[in-house]
Amino acid sequence: MNIVGNNKRKGEKPIPDDIENYLNDAQQVELNTIEKFGWSLKFIRRPLFQDNIVVVANPDGSSFGILEEDGVLNLQPDIEIRI
Note the pLDDT tens digit of each residue in 21-36. Answer: 999 999 999 999 999 9
Q: Where are the domains of the chain?
A: 2-82
Residues in CB range of 43: below 8 A, 6 or more apart? 14, 15, 55
Residues in CB range of 71: below 8 A, 6 or more apart? 24, 25, 26, 27, 29, 30
The conformation of residue 60, written as its DSSP 8-state character, comes to T
Q: Using 50 as the pLDDT threshold, list the residues of the chain that sit under it.
A: 2-7
Q: What pLDDT, on the 0 to 100 scale, is given for residue 3? A: 44
Distance CA 65, CA 72 (A): 10
